[in-house]
Structure 1
Amino acid sequence: MTAFMDRAEKAEQALRQLFEPTSLGRNDHLSDRFGADIFLKREDLTPVRSYKLRGAFNAISKVLAGGMADRFVCASAGNHAQGVAYVCRHFGVEGAIFMPVTTPQQKIDKTRKFGGDKVRIELTGDYFDQTLAAAQAHCREIGAHFLSPFDDADVIEGQASVAVEMLAQMETPPDIVVLPVGGGGLSAGVMSYLADAAPGVALRFVEPCGGASLAAALAAGRPVRLPKIDSFVDGAAVAQVGAETFAVLGAADPAHVYAAPEDRICATIIEMLNVEGIVLEPAGALSVDALVDMADDIRGKRVVCVTSGGNFDFERLPEVKERALRYTGLKKYFILRLPQRPGALKEFLSLLGPGDDIARFEYLKKSARNFGSVLIGIETKDADDFPHLFARMDAAGFVYQDITDDEVLAQFLI
């Protein structure tokens, strides 16, 4: 047994102070869909609904055992904050959690609930970099220990407990494990443990298209900072993987790193909610979402997908549903030049099919003569209905512009 294996297994045993192993079970829906045995390792079922509790517990435990500090500081607007808060209350130690001013109230309330009177929440900065700088300055000022969400050897070791549990829950190791990647703490921990405990297990990594920092690091041979990220997948939208995590993940095959489109992730969230009753946050859905990209590779194999978190704010559900409908082609938006004459609107409405539903109708510009510009949203039951609708509109002489995939117009109009 290697030193890392031993430490990871001890971390897994120590975690039993907080919760039992998260469940690992075969998912019939996904298995049937992909012709494989798909298992879900349900990290969305920890007490804080994400795996982040593991790394926070291991890191704080070691700091306390070594007498290095008894006060802790972190910067996070999500799962790391909640994990740190939970562990601080468990050990009865003080924690200061810095969050951006823009953090949704739901996340602030949950963090406060988990931390109780042991945690103080500081809202500062409009952007995370500002929040991080304030947290680190405060940490130095009071002589506390700063808890990184991923770029810390003890955090990585704690996250490896996911793999320890997984192997103990299976009679034989799986063929493939699919892991979400943000800063890389979970994937580095699992990769390190499996390299020693089950070297025959293949790994696949998934990051959001708008935050593909691991792919960028592998291409450059070192961690590099992305100039821009899409923050929709907030639990994994990281501009740069950690130095500690890349020391492990640098050995990954770039061909085994997948990028999941944000709109497709929305469709996966809706599918898992409607079909399986499983609530996943965007980052938590990454491993399931990427199965479609590796369908040929996984057919007939035993695959474990780590669902990393279920802290989904249901106020986001309308946006997620909207993006899912657009991705699947069931909803389109277009700007129609509508003639300003009696009967023109009725003529347009007569072109709609039985499965077409008007979800949005708004005059953008209406003059007293000639034409008016109308924003129209159409939702249908079958994506193949749209080519027929557009053909009927063309034949009737209507002039229109499909803006469904126009990011600039969609941002202002939809």
Structure 2
Amino acid sequence: MSEQQADFETRARAAAFALREVFEPTPLVLNPFLSARYEAEIWLKREDLSPVRSYKIRGAFNAMRHAIADGTTRFVCASAGNHAQGVAYAARHFGVTATVFMPVTTPQQKIEKTRVFGEEAVEIRLTGDYFDDTLTAAQAYCAETGAHFLSPFDDEDVILGQASVALEVLDQMEGAPDLFVLPVGGGGLSSGMRAVLKTAAPGAGMILAEPAGGASLAAALVAGAPVTLDSVDSFVDGAAVARIGAKTFQILEDVPMRDVFAVPEDRICTTILEMLNHEGIVLEPAGALPVDVLKDLGTRIRGKRVVVVTSGGNFDFERLPEVKERAMRSAGVKKYYLLRMPQRPGALRDFLELLGPDDDIARFEYLKKSARNFGTVLIGIETSAAENFERLESALNAGGFTFQDITADETLAEFVI
């Protein structure tokens, strides 16, 4: 054990102890449903049950207490979600002020939650349509006022605060688990836990899951340094980061690629619904991400003791229709077609007769008449089993209908669905 590693664990334990000022350790709960499914001992570290329903309070609290010790009383952050709420909660606790910059497009629910957590201690400024614009405005404000910028992940004190998750787990169970499974976005949680486990539980493995549309860690591992992704799917907003942190990557740079998994966003939706319906657990997309990746681990977890960090539960239920839609598409039980419909009496009836007993029309819309005798129809179909679409498409071909499956065509679907 190096002196630097020992020092990191000592400081992480100090951060964990300080956190007891504001909340007790989050629960570590054995989950029988997941354990039976994967033939393993699956424990959930319920960070979704922290005071702000995510682990982000840990890093914000620890970074803020150190800055206050150095004389800082004014803080700034840029965030549209969990980090903003953690900063707001910590600012109110310490009796300091925080200016939270959020994109203009931030849902009202998140703005109100940040305001509730911070009360008079927090000023919210809505700036920019995109997060990069918001971040630029926040950093410019810091330069003008001399306020302290609280990074959501790329800060040593934030990393130390997030490391407290691992230390709590070790205190809550007898002996270390065989494996930790957690999400990775900017890298604050994963780097903190990895650094402290090197000394506190060197035999414990770690699986890192990132959204397929924001796989910044995998890109950095391939390049050997942080790189900026050309585009990011923001659906998993708690982990969809275009560029992993420089400080966090210094800790993660030797993570084996076999331990990093990219998880499809649509598939995560099936897990959000499953955990809600089967277990009554509300998880945001980033919180469901490490639960979902268990599907990819197979024999690597069978018979093992596994701790899954459910990192957040700030789910806006206005997103539920979108989650259901994406889950059905992931499961292959919902598809969208562009169908060329003959403009003659009985054509619609002929089409309807091709549908099976479990096929339901979820959407039917004439888009245009492409010719005098034909019209283009957007049709959405839901069914009970994915294989039903093979039968339907065969029947459409046999019936002389011209059609195009646009379910996976993101560009086209964006305009017509």
TM-score (norm 1): 0.98
Query: Aligned pair in 2 of structure 1 residues 369, 129: CA closer, same or farther (>3 Å)?
Result: closer
Q: 2:363 aligns with which of 360, 365, 380?
A: 360
* 1:174 Cα offset (Å): 0.6
Distance (Å, rounded) in 2 between the aligned partners of 1:126 and 1:228: 16
- Aligned partner of 1:331 in structure 2 is 334
Question: Aligned runs of 1:64-103 on 2, under 5 Å?
Answer: 64-67=68-71, 69-103=72-106
Conservation of the 8 A alpha-carbon contact between 1:72 and 1:96: yes
Question: Aligned runs of 1:219-238 on 2, under 5 Å?
Answer: 219-238=222-241
Per-residue displacement from partner, 1:115-136 (whole Å, max 9, x unpaired)? 0001000111111111111111
* 1:4 Cα offset (Å): 1.3
- Aligned partner of 2:293 in structure 1 is 290
Distance (Å, rounded) in 2 between the aligned partners of 1:239 and 1:31: 33
Distance (Å, rounded) in 2 between the aligned partners of 1:378 and 1:320: 17
Per-residue displacement from partner, 1:165-222 (whole Å, max 9, x unpaired)? 1011111211110110010000011001111000000011111111111111111111
Q: Which residue identity is paired with 2:328?
A: L
Question: Aligned runs of 1:117-128 on 2, under 5 Å?
Answer: 117-128=120-131
- Aligned partner of 1:265 in structure 2 is 268
- Aligned partner of 1:8 in structure 2 is 12
- Confirm or deny that 1:165 pairs with 2:168: yes
Distance (Å, rounded) in 2 between the aligned partners of 1:83 and 1:342: 62
Q: 1:58 aligns with which of 59, 62, 66?
A: 62
Distance (Å, rounded) in 2 between the aligned partners of 1:263 and 1:368: 36
Query: Aligned pair in 2 of structure 1 residues 6, 368: CA closer, same or farther (>3 Å)?
Result: closer
Per the alignment, in what secondary structure is the counterpart of residue 319 of structure 1?
helix
Per the alignment, in what secondary structure is the counterpart of residue 303 of structure 1?
strand
Conservation of the 8 A alpha-carbon contact between 1:26 and 1:37: yes
- Confirm or deny that 1:377 pairs with 2:380: yes
Distance (Å, rounded) in 1 between the aligned partners of 2:201 and 2:410: 44
* 1:394 Cα offset (Å): 1.8
Distance (Å, rounded) in 2 between the aligned partners of 1:220 and 1:335: 41
* 1:368 Cα offset (Å): 7.9
* 1:390 Cα offset (Å): 1.5
Over the aligned positions, Cα root-mean-square deviation in angstroms equals 1.2
Distance (Å, rounded) in 2 between the aligned partners of 1:397 and 1:213: 46
Per-residue displacement from partner, 1:325-366 (whole Å, max 9, x unpaired)? 011001011111111111111111111111111100001113
- Aligned partner of 2:249 in structure 1 is 246
Please identify, of 263-272 and 156-165, the stretch whose mean Cα deviation from structure 2 is larger. Answer: 263-272
Per-residue displacement from partner, 1:273-297 (whole Å, max 9, x unpaired)? 1111111111111111111111121
* 1:320 Cα offset (Å): 1.0
* 1:42 Cα offset (Å): 0.7
Paired positions, count: 413
* 1:16 Cα offset (Å): 1.2
- Aligned partner of 1:20 in structure 2 is 24
Q: Which residue identity is paired with 2:22?
A: L
Please identify, of 147-156 and 344-353, the stretch whose mean Cα deviation from structure 2 is larger. Answer: 344-353
* 1:367 Cα offset (Å): 6.6
- Aligned partner of 1:35 in structure 2 is 39
- Aligned partner of 2:399 in structure 1 is 396
Query: Aligned pair in 2 of structure 1 residues 337, 368: CA closer, same or farther (>3 Å)?
Result: closer
Conservation of the 8 A alpha-carbon contact between 2:340 and 2:403: yes
Distance (Å, rounded) in 2 between the aligned partners of 1:126 and 1:337: 38
* 1:309 Cα offset (Å): 0.5
- Aligned partner of 1:342 in structure 2 is 345
Per-residue displacement from partner, 1:355-393 (whole Å, max 9, x unpaired)? 111100001113784211111111011112111111222
Q: Which residue identity is paired with 2:66?
A: K
Q: Percent identity?
A: 68
Please identify, of 399-408 and 182-191, the stretch whose mean Cα deviation from structure 2 is larger. Answer: 399-408
Distance (Å, rounded) in 1 between the aligned partners of 2:369 and 2:225: 55
Per the alignment, in what secondary structure is the counterpart of residue 17 of structure 1?
coil
- Confirm or deny that 1:205 pairs with 2:204: no
TM-score (norm 2): 0.97
Q: 1:312 aligns with which of 315, 318, 328?
A: 315
Per the alignment, in what secondary structure is the counterpart of residue 160 of structure 1?
helix
- Aligned partner of 1:45 in structure 2 is 49
Conservation of the 8 A alpha-carbon contact between 2:159 and 2:248: yes
Conservation of the 8 A alpha-carbon contact between 1:42 and 1:306: yes
Distance (Å, rounded) in 1 between the aligned partners of 2:312 and 2:236: 11
- Confirm or deny that 1:112 pairs with 2:81: no
Q: Which residue identity is paired with 2:172?
A: Q
Q: 2:196 aligns with which of 171, 177, 193?
A: 193
* 1:395 Cα offset (Å): 1.9
Q: 2:150 aligns with which of 139, 142, 147?
A: 147
Conservation of the 8 A alpha-carbon contact between 1:340 and 1:368: no
Please identify, of 6-15 and 70-79, the stretch whose mean Cα deviation from structure 2 is larger. Answer: 6-15
Distance (Å, rounded) in 2 between the aligned partners of 1:210 and 1:394: 34
Distance (Å, rounded) in 2 between the aligned partners of 1:103 and 1:145: 23
Distance (Å, rounded) in 2 between the aligned partners of 1:357 and 1:130: 44
Please identify, of 174-183 and 364-373, the stretch whose mean Cα deviation from structure 2 is larger. Answer: 364-373
Conservation of the 8 A alpha-carbon contact between 1:75 and 1:98: yes
Q: Which residue identity is paired with 2:374?
A: F
